[in-house]
């Protein structure tokens, strides 16, 4: 298997990259007794993995931001005074700043990478790559998207 390189995303210095891990590998990583805090999984009485995500759980629709650019300007249903929704515009400059912070956070660490698809139809599905630090996040992504 070819080694995966994340440098073209700006991510460097990784100590290990776990690419498309199996459920067994993810379970083992989630149950590592040396983990602490939000990285740690707990086994329930029924054999499922439970994780504590802190006070911010689930998705917050009110915190949905989309980069407004030439492609999205006329194709996204933006919020307005006349019609309120949760599609808030973000400038390309703000996105660049947020992305830079995320990339810095991912450097010099062990990472999990999951390559998957959105959509079941091979003609219209979209390939997506998820890069994260925590095994249970990779487990969640593996459950939610098509491999």
pLDDT per residue as tens digits for the range 101-124: 999 999 999 999 999 999 999 999
Which are the contacts of 129, defined by CB distance < 8 A and separation ≥ 6? 113, 114, 115, 116
67 to each of 9, 11, 96, 104, 112, how far by Cα in Å? 18, 22, 10, 20, 26
Which stretches does DSSP call E strand in 14-146? Answer: 16-19, 41-43, 49-51, 65-67, 88-90, 110-118, 126-132
The tens digit of pLDDT for each residue in 25-70 reads: 999 999 999 998 889 999 999 999 999 887 777 777 788 899 999 9
Which are the contacts of 38, defined by CB distance < 8 A and separation ≥ 6? 51, 52, 53, 54, 134
Query: Which domains, and CATH codes, for the chain?
Result: 13-144 (3.40.449.10)
The whole-number pLDDT of residue 38 equals 85
104 phi and psi angles, rounded to 5 deg: -60, -40
Which residue shows structure tokens 């440098």? 7
Is 139 in contact with 46 (CB distance < 8 Å)?
no
């Amino acid at each position: 298997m070819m080694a995966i390189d994340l440098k073209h995303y700006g991510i460097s210095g990784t100590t290990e990259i776990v690419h498309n891990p199996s459920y067994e590998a993810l379970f083992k990583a989630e149950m590592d007794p040396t983990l602490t805090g939000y990285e740690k999984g707990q086994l329930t009485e029924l054999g499922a993995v439970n994780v504590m995500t802190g006070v911010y759980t689930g998705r917050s629709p009110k915190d949905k931001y989309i980069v407004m650019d030439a492609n999205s300007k006329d194709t996204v249903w933006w919020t307005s005074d006349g019609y309120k929704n949760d599609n808030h515009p973000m400038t390309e400059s703000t996105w660049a700043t947020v992305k830079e912070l995320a990339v810095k956070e991912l450097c010099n660490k062990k990472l999990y990478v999951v390559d998957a698809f959105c959509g079941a139809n091979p003609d219209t599905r979209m390939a997506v790559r998820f890069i994260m630090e925590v095994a249970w996040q990779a487990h969640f992504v593996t459950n939610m998207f098509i491999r």
